[in-house]
Structure 1
Amino acid sequence: MATIKDVAKAAGVSVATVSRVINKSPKASQASIDAVTKAMSELGYRPNAAARALVSQSTQTMGVLVSDVSDPFFGTLVKAVDTVARQHGKHLLVGNGYHNPEDERRSIELLINNRCDALVIHAKALSDDELIAFAQEAPGMVIINRFIPELAERCIYLDNHKGAHLATDFLIRQGHSKIAFIASSHQITDVDERLSGYRDALQEHGLAQPDSYVEYGDPSSEGGEQAMLNLLSKGLEISAIVAYNDNMAAGALSVMEENGIAVPHQISIVGFDDGLIARYVKPRLTTVRYPIQMMAENAAQLALYLAKQPAEADTSPKRYSPTMVKRDSVAGTMAD
């Protein structure tokens, strides 16, 4: 295998000149560039990426951590970051954390050790203190879908409470009062915030529901199916449901169809995210829009900016607001 010394000898230049050509130094003459490029081609020499990074202080890579890239929500997040990365001539390294502290920790360490130029991190299991410590190591690290006061200038997140409040309030204004909630069983702040939004909206209208109206499941279609089956098994009087996400809502719709429950005429349902599935289930799903593509693109831009100029970043929190998307899965009712 050819070495940089072999290239220097074949090109008739010094090793330092070869290094300048490889790292695109403005000090390299055109004659040197032509000679070195020709020698590298003839010898089949490929510059070592790690060595180039040490000289240029850039690996031309961005890192992103998500819970599970197979989830369409996180697929959208990764695609958005990759779009920004490509616009800046960078490649993407992706880690999966699975809402598990050890997996999240290992993935972040791997991304930092690979000297990514910027990081977009979706981590729910690690403590604030541990993420703050990682952020001190990586100036270009941005947290998405989480707010940490000490890292306010690096956090891009959604008002989850408002999203669930919007969904519940919308159902109440359609005449519903027996409203159930299908929640994620994951122990993350999103669940608490959305449940709080649901309960606050009920309370504001004097409609406090017992805990039996809340059912938990994995935040997937299968989890939504099981949660809906559990709700039906309780024999509760339900006219509407707020689901933790669109996947869970789709699972609930499947169970209702199997049990001869007409949606929205017998039970209305609202999802959360406005993912692709919301437009293709029947009936088309009324949902809360989570602008994850916009948020991820902005997170990637911010991460790249912070990596270069950490002292000049905007220090205000970047909290995004959800909106309602009204389709066909909600109908009004005169009385419950």
Structure 2
Amino acid sequence: MARIKDVAELAGVNRSTVSRIINGEGKFRADTVRKVEAAMAELDYRPSAIARSLATSSSNMIGLLVTYYTGGFFGEMMDQVQAELDLNKKFLITAQGHQTEAGEREAIQRFNDLRCDGYVLNSRHLSDDELRELAKKPTPFVLVDRLVEGLESRCVTFDHVEAAKAAVEHLIEQGHKTIGCIAGSPNRLSSQLRTQGYREALKQDGLLISEDLEDAGDYRQASGYHAAKRLYEANPNMTAIFSCSEDMTSGAVQFFHEQGIKIPEQVALISFDSIDRCEMYYPKVSSVHFPISDMARLAVEVLMKQINNQPIEAHHQLPHELRIRNSSTVS
């Protein structure tokens, strides 16, 4: 295995020159850099990440906290964060929060123990106060889909209320007056906000708001199936449903197909969607797009600016996009 002194000898320079070129320190003549790079290529020399960490006081590692590893939403987040970090020559370390405050705290401590240069946090359980305390420590971080007062410049957010309102308003514009809602877990803030948007859209048009028209799932397919079943059986006059996640929508579509209930002729359907799953259902389901890929990319961009001591904006909120497909309009 080639060593740094072998590269130096082949390039005809001293070891400190090789080390500084590898670490991007100082300025060197172009021909010197070319000699070092050619020697590294000929010897198939790869710098030790640990040695570079010790030399530069940087681990080149970024920690990513997610709730859990399963599911397209979190897979898309990890994929986009990884892609952006590759461009910045950083390594990705991931950890699950296990849907608990203690789990999220332990994950962040693990990032700290590994001397990560920064964190991207999809924290759902740590309190705002604890996150504000974390911000007082030297390691920078960015929050994805979370707005904390006092940490606005570290937050990449999305307006779940307005997005949900836009989805339900589309159903109202199609003439629907009795609209059901397959909500997510009431313990999740995003679910609370989406349900709030659903109710606000009904209220502003003077339509019925009723507990009988709402059924809480858990963002999984099976819960969407059972929620659609309960809503349809309890509300025979219901003509449309707003679903708070693409996985629950999948369950609802399955139920309607099994019962021979036509979409959209008998029940119109619109959903939240983050990874374009709704494009794959039959019929293709109208959706309000939750741009998790863009949020992940922007989170890394904001984090790298923090790491490099560059100015950042006060708050980063991405817009929603309404995507109308076959499930909500009758041709």
Q: Which TM-score band (shorter chain)?
A: 0.7 to 0.9
Report which stretch shifted further, 140-149 or 224-233.
Answer: 224-233
Change (3 A) 1:138 1:233: farther
The residue correspondences of 1:124-203 to structure 2 (distance < 5 A) are 124-185=124-185, 187-203=187-203
Report which stretch shifted further, 175-184 or 117-126.
Answer: 117-126
Is residue 65–residue 108 contact of structure 1 (8 Å, CA) maintained in 2? Answer: yes
Post-superposition Cα deviations, 1:244-285, rounded to whole Å, max 9, x if no partner, equal 111111110101111111111000110102523211110001
Instruction: Indicate the RMSD between aligned Cα atoms, in angstroms.
Output: 3.3
CA distance in 1, matches of 2:187, 2:276: 25
Counterpart of 1:136 in 2: which secondary structure? coil
Runs (5+) with no aligned partner, structure 2: 6-13
How many residues are aligned here? 323
The structural deviation recorded for 1:26 is: 4.8
The residue type paired with residue 331 of structure 1 is T
Is residue 186–residue 192 contact of structure 2 (8 Å, CA) maintained in 1? Answer: no
Q: Percent identity of the aligned residues?
A: 29
The residue type paired with residue 187 of structure 2 is Q
Question: What residue is the counterpart of 2:325 in the other structure?
Answer: 327
CA distance in 2, matches of 1:274, 1:16: 49
Question: What residue is the counterpart of 1:57 in the other structure?
Answer: 57
TM-score (norm 1): 0.84
Is residue 140–residue 304 contact of structure 1 (8 Å, CA) maintained in 2? Answer: no
The structural deviation recorded for 1:97 is: 1.9
The residue type paired with residue 313 of structure 1 is I
Change (3 A) 1:168 1:20: closer
The structural deviation recorded for 1:115 is: 2.0
Change (3 A) 1:55 1:264: same
Is residue 120–residue 300 contact of structure 2 (8 Å, CA) maintained in 1? Answer: yes
The residue correspondences of 1:1-336 to structure 2 (distance < 5 A) are 26=26, 49-185=49-185, 187-309=187-309, 312-315=311-314, 317-331=315-329
CA distance in 1, matches of 2:24, 2:192: 51
Post-superposition Cα deviations, 1:75-102, rounded to whole Å, max 9, x if no partner, equal 1121111111011111211122243212
Is residue 119–residue 300 contact of structure 1 (8 Å, CA) maintained in 2? Answer: no
CA distance in 2, matches of 1:236, 1:211: 15
TM-score (norm 2): 0.85
Change (3 A) 1:288 1:98: farther
CA distance in 1, matches of 2:67, 2:234: 32
Report which stretch shifted further, 176-185 or 137-146.
Answer: 137-146
CA distance in 2, matches of 1:132, 1:78: 24
CA distance in 1, matches of 2:169, 2:18: 67
Is residue 175–residue 332 contact of structure 1 (8 Å, CA) maintained in 2? Answer: no
Counterpart of 2:180 in 1: which secondary structure? strand
CA distance in 1, matches of 2:158, 2:181: 19
